[in-house]
Structure 1
Amino acid sequence: MGKVWALAKTTLREMLREKVFLVVVLIAVALLALSFLLGALSFAEQRKILTDFGFLAIQVAALGVSLFSGSYLLAKEIEKQTCLLILSRPVSREQFILGKIFGVLALNTLLLAALGVLLWALLGLWKEPNLWLSFVEICLSLWFESAVILCLVICFSLIVRPVLALGAGFMVFLLGHWLGDLTFFAEKSKEELFIQAVKVFHWITPNLYRMNWKSAYFLENGIPAQNVGWMIAHMTGWGILLILATNFFFRRKDIV
């Protein structure tokens, strides 16, 4: 694991120097500032607006890092053949993949933690310790979401061009959040083919709609423990599956 952590630290330092990271951070901070200003315009809804926009800002930041970093992470290494310098040492392809993924995950963790602390302070949650657990659970769901999208995009980038991998990752993200609505429309339509297609999508797409908790309602009312347990198990399973698939494709990738 020492080699994996060394690669992860190197990847983290590289990602911190990327301009896309700075752009994502600026967008997230701008959304947080906008939520604070909108909340100030409506004192009755200030808490709700700040919470909804604040968690949205964190989601956009984490998703942006996962999509842009993940889609070009391996493609850049393969194109410039810099990965050959690492793989020529006693480092396996599996360790290389894990090091890269953990590096971006570390970046997302730092970003989410920083923005989370900022939102926590803006909401004044230090006065309400009863809401801390819900706040952490919502942030954890956003972290898992970004982690699975990252693994998905990295896997896609070994099969198609980076820009297509980015687009595919974004489409899976949207589909994962639309599955609930698609299920509703399928049941209303009573079209058997539509119903079966939605059932298939439930099996081949992360069910992101079931962990869409980024609102004031879930912050104030809490999230059932079984839902949190399902989220951790579901997203961990998807992450492991995608990492195995990435290793499979990378072992068969001609990088010379």
Structure 2
Amino acid sequence: MKKILTIGKYTLKENISNKVFNGVLYFGILSIFFTTLLDEVALYEGGRVIRDSGLFLTEFLVMLITVYISSTYVIKAVAEKSIYLVLTKAVTKSKYIMGINLGIIYSVFCNVFVMGSILGFILYTKGQFDWWYIRALFFIGLKLSIVSTLGVFFSIISDSFVTSTIFTLFTYILGHGVMEIKAISEKLTGSVFQWVLDLLYIILPKFNLLNYRDYLKQGDTNYFMIVGYVLIYITCVVVATNIVFEKKRL
């Protein structure tokens, strides 16, 4: 466990020093400050417009960072030969993968915290900061944690920056449309397409459970079910990644 945590901390530090990581993060912070201008042009509820726009920017920009880092990290490590230095220090492939996933999840929540804190301060001055906003940030972090593990998985099976990034982005998009996929499947009873769509519905992440817009309104939320689903899904993806990586020749 200690080795996994060490790799996770190293991955986090390496991500923070990444120029693309910092560039997008700084752009995100600047964009959030620009959302305050929406208060001037909004006809009513300017604070709510700032909140919704800021949350959208937070998720979108952190998603871009997450996709880039997760879908290229292992490929980059292999290309630069740095992975061999780690694996020769009595670190198994499975521990290496778990450490990387942990480090990228650290990075996800770090980004969400930084951008969310700035937006939260702006909302506080507008009287729009409340518990529901914090909950929305938490669910954004959970959603992008799933994306990060999928990015690592696709980077292992594809060996290409382009294809792993495309697969990760498509999964992120399709994960928001799982209910539509299910609805289409029900109309294609008895066809091969129904089997394919049913399979997609099963394996795709259910991002509808983590849509922050649904949690900006007061209502009952089963946190144990949602967090449990995220942990189970991430565990399944990490296990699948380990199986593929163990059989992979480096």
Q: Normalised by the size of structure 1, how large is the TM-score?
A: 0.87
What's the counterpart of residue 15 of structure 1?
15
Does the 8 Å CA contact 1:39/1:50 hold for their aligned counterparts? yes
1:46 deviates by: 0.8
Give the Cα separation in 1 of the matches to 2:95 and 2:141. 22
Q: Return the letter of the residue paired with 1:165.
A: S
Give the Cα separation in 1 of the matches to 2:176 and 2:16. 29
Q: Return the letter of the residue paired with 2:244.
A: F
What's the counterpart of residue 169 of structure 1?
168
Deviations 1:186-208 (A, max 9, x none): 66xx3324665543322110011
Does the 8 Å CA contact 1:56/1:214 hold for their aligned counterparts? no
Q: Normalised by the size of structure 2, how large is the TM-score?
A: 0.89
Question: 20-29 or 139-148, which moves further after superposition?
Answer: 20-29
Give the Cα separation in 1 of the matches to 2:188 and 2:125. 47
Aligned length: 247
1:225 counterpart = 2:221:
yes
Q: Return the letter of the residue paired with 2:237.
A: L
Give the Cα separation in 1 of the matches to 2:109 and 2:221. 23
1:234 counterpart = 2:229:
yes
1:143 counterpart = 2:141:
yes
1:30 deviates by: 3.6
1:178 counterpart = 2:150:
no
1:139 deviates by: 1.1
1:25 deviates by: 0.8
Does the 8 Å CA contact 1:179/1:198 hold for their aligned counterparts? no
Give the Cα separation in 1 of the matches to 2:45 and 2:128. 18
What's the counterpart of residue 158 of structure 1?
156
Q: 3-state DSSP class of the match of 2:177?
A: helix
Q: Return the letter of the residue paired with 2:164.
A: A
1:80 deviates by: 2.0
Q: Return the letter of the residue paired with 1:247.
A: N
Give the Cα separation in 2 of the matches to 1:125 and 1:38. 14
Does the 8 Å CA contact 1:28/1:60 hold for their aligned counterparts? no
Give the Cα separation in 2 of the matches to 1:33 and 1:108. 20
Q: CA RMSD in A?
A: 2.2
1:33 deviates by: 2.7
Deviations 1:107-153 (A, max 9, x none): 22211111111111111189678x32x22221111111111111111
What's the counterpart of residue 191 of structure 1?
188
1:179 deviates by: 2.0
Q: Return the letter of the residue paired with 2:65.
A: V
Does the 8 Å CA contact 1:29/1:57 hold for their aligned counterparts? no
Determine what percentage of the aligned residue pairs are the same residue: 19
Deviations 1:62-99 (A, max 9, x none): 21222000111111111222111111112111111122
Is there any run of 5+ residues in structure 2 with no aligned partner, and where? none
Task: Within 5 Å, give how 1:20-99 maps onto structure 2.
Answer: 20-42=20-42, 44-99=44-99
Question: 164-173 or 40-49, which moves further after superposition?
Answer: 40-49
